Structure 1
Amino acid sequence: MPTFNDAVDEIKNFSEKAGLYDKRILVMFSGGKDSSLMLYLLKEAGLDISALTFFHRWSWRETLNWAMKFTKRLGIEHFLVDVTDGLLREATGRKGPVCINCKKVMLWNAKWFALNNGFDVLAKGDNANDKIIGALLDQCETDIRLCGLPKIGIPFFRPLIKYPADTVEKLADDVGIKPYRMYEHARRRQWREGCPLQYIDKEEIVTPELMELAYRVNYEVSRIARRMKVRASVRVPSFEIMCWNCDEEALKEINSVVERFKGGDSYD
């Protein structure tokens, strides 16, 4: 398994061959382990980078605050863009999951933000476990770490794409990268947190009220999960409880929150 220094050297070598030291790179930075490690590696490799973080009305403020502190510590320019309006246009009235619409909004916002602000390359923290055959960014004719796709109009740099998730996890741990955790259940067993809108029931017609419900119930449930060191989330509007390692006490507290929201508390 590569060390952190090995990963930095690999990025340096690839960047020299690909001419990335002559480019301005805009890093799509969520504040999770993958994008945080990527940002740190690119900084250590001496590339010209800035960070871009998208948020919306229902984003976790705790993780956003952590991300801002992280870039400040690294001395990296950090842009924040509110995509609430675009997300509402793309998602409202359509069936879930919302994540599909949100990724579309973020991708195109990132593209135009980069082009309008003099950036030459976009960077994403995808690892090898994120690679899906047939996905747009996997239709690369050359090295999958740097994709120049006409449909996007700007190259994408994915320095972690050949590293499995467990390697990324170890590299981040080795250099003390510990993002703020909401203790969500997430859609995968690995630490894959995101935002509460991912818990809107599949095939449900998305509305602003349902987005608000997903945020409010899951914010309270995440506070319980964080305190009890379990991972829990609630689907809405079905109110299905999902939990890793929950004991009776945790489930009792989570159920009390769910029952209160079922009674209409979510719209007070």
Structure 2
Amino acid sequence: MIERAVREIRDFAEETGLTEKRILVLFSGGKDSSLVLYLLKQAGLDVSALTFFHRWSWKETLNWAMKFTKGLGVGHYLVDITDGLLREAVGRKGPVCIHCKKVMLWNAKWFALNNGFEVLAKGDNANDKIIGALLDQCDGDIRLCGIPRIGVPFFRPLIKYTAEEVEALAEEAGIRPYRMYEHARRRQWREGCPLQYIDKEETIRPELMDLAYRVNYEVSKIARRRKVRISVRVPSFEVMAWNPDEETLRGIGEVVRRFKGGSDASVRKA
């Protein structure tokens, strides 16, 4: 599968002129963006990685991402978006991810333009819900989309692969990102950052951002040890877990009570 995927990318790059372009991959350190970086490198394209982080980012996943790009031999740029995220998100309703994506997209555009990159690449696959206003602006093959309001074309080499096919490709390539064992928002394993667990009806405040990080970091220690996906919403302290056993729930309950001040936690098993 890897050989075929690399060949498809190389052929597409030759058809569209991507072989002559500098490509910047929006690299989160997750499986999809890691696979994109790997495939573009194997296809012989001029590729680098761009990772955004903020005060509440998981340090463990960032460390893994830096080791991965070093092993791959590609340039890796790190940009701290803490100030921009605070300006965009604080005082508004959640989820935080909506505001964070705006900050990342704006920074990606200007980083690319100011540093000589001609194409941005993402790890979207066929299961991602991106058909709509964004891709309606694409003429022809949706793998390469020149979006007028952004001004930098987007390359999505995995957009015709299902999540299951991406999983198989990553496994064949030996790509196994560091897992925080987050619950995430869908059964497909899609980790992000702890700020996604601020209750969506809440007005975003720095104190809630700090709380979301601290609670979920402690919970992740148990989740990783028990190999169970768990996250905690704040300030409701609702515990979300994929099939936890009673011992795991007791450990999570102790963490939640410590942060909540002794009250019981509600648990939703998914």
- Deviation string 1:27-80 (CA, Å, 9 cap, x unpaired) is 100000000000000000000011000000000000000000000001000000
In structure 2, what is the equivalent of residue 246 of structure 1?
Answer: 244
Instruction: Show structure 2 runs of 5+ residues with no match.
Output: 263-270
2-side partners of 1:186 and 1:180: how far apart? 15
The residue identity in structure 2 corresponding to 1:64 is L
Which residue, 5, 17, 26 being the options, matches 2:15?
Answer: 17
- Deviation string 1:60-115 (CA, Å, 9 cap, x unpaired) is 00000000000000100000000000000110000010000001100110000000
2-side partners of 1:213 and 1:162: how far apart? 38
Would the alpha carbon gap of residues 84 and 109 (structure 1) be closer, same or farther in structure 2, given more than 3 Å must change?
same
1-side partners of 2:28 and 2:259: how far apart? 29
In structure 2, what is the equivalent of residue 188 of structure 1?
Answer: 186
Compute the displacement of 1:245 (Å).
Answer: 1.8
The residue identity in structure 1 corresponding to 2:76 is H
The residue identity in structure 2 corresponding to 1:59 is S
- Deviation string 1:125-180 (CA, Å, 9 cap, x unpaired) is 10011143314145312210001111000100000001000000000001110000
Which of structure 1's runs of 4+ aligned residues deviate more than 6 A? none
In structure 2, what is the equivalent of residue 74 of structure 1?
Answer: 72
Q: Is the 8 A contact 1:235 1:241 kept in 2?
A: yes
- Deviation string 1:179-217 (CA, Å, 9 cap, x unpaired) is 000000000111100000000001210000000000000
Secondary structure of the corresponding residue to residue 180 of structure 2:
coil
1:47 equivalenced with 2:50 (yes/no): no
2-side partners of 1:79 and 1:137: how far apart? 27
Give the % identical residues.
79
Q: Is the 8 A contact 1:221 1:232 kept in 2?
A: yes
Would the alpha carbon gap of residues 138 and 261 (structure 1) be closer, same or farther in structure 2, given more than 3 Å must change?
farther
Secondary structure of the corresponding residue to residue 95 of structure 1:
coil
1:141 equivalenced with 2:139 (yes/no): yes
In structure 2, what is the equivalent of residue 167 of structure 1?
Answer: 165
- RMSD (Å), alpha carbons: 0.9
The residue identity in structure 2 corresponding to 1:78 is H
- Deviation string 1:221-261 (CA, Å, 9 cap, x unpaired) is 01100000100000000000000020000000001000000
In structure 1, what is the equivalent of residue 83 of structure 2?
Answer: 85
In structure 2, what is the equivalent of residue 96 of structure 1?
Answer: 94
1:35 equivalenced with 2:33 (yes/no): yes
The residue identity in structure 2 corresponding to 1:139 is Q
Which residue, 254, 257, 261 being the options, matches 2:255?
Answer: 257
Secondary structure of the corresponding residue to residue 249 of structure 2:
helix
What's the TM-score, normalizing by structure 1? 0.96
1:105 equivalenced with 2:103 (yes/no): yes
The residue identity in structure 1 corresponding to 2:243 is N
**Corresponding pairs, count:** 262
2-side partners of 1:97 and 1:135: how far apart? 20
1-side partners of 2:135 and 2:13: how far apart? 19
2-side partners of 1:37 and 1:93: how far apart? 36
Compute the displacement of 1:263 (Å).
Answer: 1.6
In structure 2, what is the equivalent of residue 64 of structure 1?
Answer: 62
Which residue, 227, 233, 237 being the options, matches 2:235?
Answer: 237
Q: Is the 8 A contact 1:131 1:161 kept in 2?
A: no
2-side partners of 1:139 and 1:218: how far apart? 38
